[in-house]
Every structure is written in structure tokens, then in C-alpha cells.
Structure 1
Amino acid sequence: MVRAIILVKSPKKLIAARLRKVDSVSDSFPTSGQFDAVAIIDVEELAQIKDVANQIQKINGVERTETMVEVQ
């Protein structure tokens, strides 16, 4: 199992709720600061992280994302 955190910049309200609808997103919540929401994703293989990030980037109102992969 691979876990990653995707930071999301979006002026849209309730973006965290929209993120929870994406497959592999185990949790999402709004944040203050440079990014507006965080999505925590759990996938089987590292290569799947890109697919999930692409799905998030296609959500209406998402301006940019930044992905961090958990290192163990």
C-alpha cells in the first residue's frame, strides 16, 4: 500500500467534499494557507498516484495540486 497527500489550490467552496468522491481518496479536509484542501490517498502501486492526481486536477475549479508521497 502506498499513501500520498495531495495539496489542492481551489477557490471553490466545498472542494474537500468533491475530493472525497474521487476513488482512492481515503480522507479530505479544508485547510488554511497556501492550499485550500488536502486529499489523502491510498493506492496499491506508486504509479497509481499519478492517475488519482490527474482525476483531481480535472475537477472544476482546481487550479493546481502538489503531491507528496509517504516515505517509510
Structure 2
Amino acid sequence: MVRAIILVKSPKKLIAARLRKISSVSDSFPTSGQFDAVAIIDVKQLSQIKDVATLIQKISGVERTETMVEVQ
């Protein structure tokens, strides 16, 4: 299992709730600061992270994302 954190910039309210609707997102919550929400994702293969990030970027109102992969 590969875990990643995707930071999301979006002025849309309830963006964290929208992120939780994506099947690979195990948790999501709003934040204050440079980014508006965090999505924690769990996938089977490293290559799937890009697919999830692309899905998030297609959500209406998402301005940008930044992805960090957990290193063990």
C-alpha cells in the first residue's frame, strides 16, 4: 500500500467533503493557510497517485494541488 497526501487549493466551500467522495481518499479535512484542504490517499501502486491527483484537479473550483508521497 502506498500513502500520499494531496494539498488542495480551492476557494469552494465544502471541498473536503467533495474529496471524500473519491474512492482512494481515506480521509480529507479543511485547513487554514496556503491550502484549503488535505486529502490522504491510499493506493496499491505508486503510479495510481497521479490518477487520483488528476481526478482531484478535475473537481470544479480546484485551483492547484501539491502531492507528497509517504516515505518509509
1:67 matched to which residue of 2?
A: 67
1:38 matched to which residue of 2?
A: 38
Secondary structure at 2:51's aligned position in 1?
A: helix
Counterpart CA distance in 2 for 1:53 and 1:64 is: 10
**5+ residue gaps, structure 2:** none
How many residues are matched?
72
The one-letter amino acid of 1:9's match is: K
Counterpart CA distance in 2 for 1:48 and 1:37 is: 20
Q: After the TM superposition, which residues 1-72 of structure 1 pair with which residues of structure 2 at under 5 Å, given as runs?
A: 1-72=1-72
Secondary structure at 1:55's aligned position in 2?
A: helix
Q: Given the two structures, how large is their TM-score scaled by the length of structure 2?
A: 0.99
The one-letter amino acid of 1:27's match is: D
Counterpart CA distance in 2 for 1:47 and 1:16 is: 23
Q: Given the two structures, how large is their TM-score scaled by the length of structure 1?
A: 0.99
**5+ residue gaps, structure 1:** none
Counterpart CA distance in 1 for 2:36 and 2:60 is: 14
- For 1:2-59, what per-residue CA distance to the aligned partner results, in whole angstroms no more than 9, with x for missing partners? 0000000000000000000012000000000000000000000000000000000000
Identity %: 89
RMSD, aligned CA: 0.3
Structure 1 residue ranges, 4+ long, deviating more than 3 angstroms after superposition: none
